[in-house]
Structure 1
Amino acid sequence: MSKTFSVNTPKDAEIGLKMDIRSNDEGKWRVFIKETKEGVEVAGAPVRVGFLEKVGEGENAFMVIRAALRVKNEDGSYQTRARQKEGKFLDAMGKEVDSEEKAAREYVLMTYKSDANKLVFGQIATVNVKNFKADKVTPTVMTLLTFKLYSDDEALEAERKYHQLQTIGSDHADYNQGYTDLKNLRKTSGKWADFFIASGHDVLRDMGFTIRERARKGQEADPAPSA
């Protein structure tokens, strides 16, 4: 049985995003990323698809999101094209439509020069659970997910460094320094963003995270962590 949880940035966030994270029958998590403006999904914007993986257990656990990296135009915007399959145009639900204008847009994705059928993936986000206790500033205990979001350029640079390390192997004299450089790159690049949990709190609990819910009007907030 599939499970789903959804998160979104605040309406006034610098980076407006909504993510729906769904598991399949094999337990793998797919992430559907949508652009938002003032809390509303941007009409016609392509949906980006990624994959989420939990790393570690207990208080040290976090999540990583990887996705195929996108091709840029000369002005820095991302290339898009009409969604199609086997020469037929498709809408956002995957249904056939009779014109390119009616088709949904999708991103043009990077492929390897040596293999045009192989997509280039990169780490586009890390996700940490951040619990707040009740205080004067935050009158209800609650949980936010803190993301570190990496641009496609940053993700590509890190991916290249990672593959260089894989190529030379851990016994190589340059491996330790290369690994340190990769850690420093991920530490110094990217942008922080807080996401609210819109739905699926219990799904995150089932994954082993401590999740507190903001109290609804007329109710008290969770008095203690829920595991």
Structure 2
Amino acid sequence: MGHTKEETQDLARLYAKQGDPDGWFEEFYARAGGDIQKIYWADLQPNPMLLTWLKQQRGGAGKKAVLVGCGLGDDAEVLAGNGYHVTAFDISNSAIDMCRHRFPDSLVDYQIADLFNRPPSWRQSFDLVYECNTVQILTGANRNRAIQAITDLVAVGGDLIVSCRSGQKNEDPGTFPVPLDRNEIDGFIRAGLIEAEFISYDDDQTPPVPHYFAVYRRQL
């Protein structure tokens, strides 16, 4: 149980009422019992927009990358395959166990970590930070906290990729996940980065879901 979108909404609301708005992540993954097919939001393949971006780069040899809320690890693996030294973390122990089980010979350093209580050594230490769909499943003040914390991972001269659902301000409050509007995603600029690339597009779902794919940079 607890693997449909509606059940996930109920689970998130329950934890929010208990004063632990992000505590539901571990229970969600734990309920899957290691079965990746029960993680309904997982595509089990790399983000196509990330693949397109990587084709335009010169590879990641010698560069450090970190994935925020890495889920089941597909994007982490493709970055490692492109030469990056990858750290991928999630707050859920069960999610990290699933990654390690899926990719037993992986070069990725999968870690259990909390974005809001991460190792101090991570501050501004990654050449590439990849954030896909994490902020949109947070609520309240934690959304802006996450934007600040993610920005803090980007090294001088480094890039941040943000991939997320997009929407308009004041959408239906029952929406889950909650898309980022343009003002909210511009929070990465207000946090000190510059916008290097910004794409607004509709995905291939039926019906199509609007998304943002943005690249931000910390200037030298």
Higher RCO structure, 1 or 2 (CA under 8 Å, sep 6+): 1
**In which range does the TM-score fall when normalised by the shorter chain?**
under 0.3
Q: TM-score of the superposition, structure 1-length normalised?
A: 0.24
Higher normalized strand content (fraction of residues): 1
Structure having the larger proportion of residues in helix: 2
